[in-house]
């Protein structure tokens, strides 16, 4: 059965790009959400194998969504990768404190993205 990835971003451009890369380079099934709140409800229903989530979003940012996902028993062990425009140490540390497993910076490098996801999900 195909592994399922939840892509979360308020930018339709980013979602389109991520979905295209994963569809062409992997067998993962993609589902999408447009902000942190939407992501939590989608994640509970879809039970993804991994969440790839932007940090800066309206309604609820990625840090907060990540924290809340960790309180849901069904999502407490799901790998969460945050997508950020900032690679500074403090920002990354805040991501890890919110409970994420990893992070990747924008603009996304497709090779880096696929390699990172495969390290969690396998090929």
Partner 1 sequence: MKISHSPAEPDRKSSALTVGDQAKVYAARMRLQNAVDQADALDAIREIAGNLIGTEEVAVFKVDKKRSELWLYWSFGVDPNKHSVLEVRREPKLKQVLKGKPVFRLKLSTESLLSTDDPVNALIPVLVDGCPCAVIVLFRLFPHKPRIEPVDKEICEVLSNCASRAVEPCHSR
Q: Which residues bind partner 1 (CB under 8 A)?
A: 9, 11-14, 16-17, 20-21, 24-25, 85-88, 105-111, 113-114
Smallest distance from the beta carbon of 31 to partner 1, in angstroms? 18
The nearer residue to partner 1, 100 or 117, going by C-beta atoms, is: 117
The nearer residue to partner 1, 24 or 73, going by C-beta atoms, is: 24
| Residue 17 CA: distances (Å) to CA of 58, 72, 107, 108 | 20, 29, 11, 9
Distance CA 60, CA 65 (A): 6
Smallest distance from the beta carbon of 18 to partner 1, in angstroms? 8
Smallest distance from the beta carbon of 75 to partner 1, in angstroms? 25
Q: Is 14 helix (H, G, I), strand (E, B) or coil?
A: helix
Distance CA 37, CA 59 (A): 7
Smallest distance from the beta carbon of 77 to partner 1, in angstroms? 28
The nearer residue to partner 1, 15 or 65, going by C-beta atoms, is: 15
Strands (DSSP E) contained in 1-123 are: 4-8, 29-33, 50-54, 80-84, 102-105
């Amino acid at each position: 059965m195909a592994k399922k990835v939840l892509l979360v971003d308020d930018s339709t451009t980013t979602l389109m790009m991520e979905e295209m890369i994963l569809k062409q380079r992997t067998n993962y099934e993609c589902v999408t959400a447009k902000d942190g709140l939407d992501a939590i409800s989608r994640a509970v229903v879809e039970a993804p194998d991994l969440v790839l989530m932007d940090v800066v979003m309206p309604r609820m940012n990625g840090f907060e969504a990540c924290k809340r996902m960790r309180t849901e028993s069904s999502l407490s062990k799901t790998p969460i990768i945050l997508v950020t425009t900032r690679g500074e140490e403090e920002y990354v540390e805040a991501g890890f404190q919110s409970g994420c497993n990893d992070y990747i910076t924008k603009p996304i490098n497709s090779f880096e993205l696929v390699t990172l996801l495969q390290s969690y999900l396998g090929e």
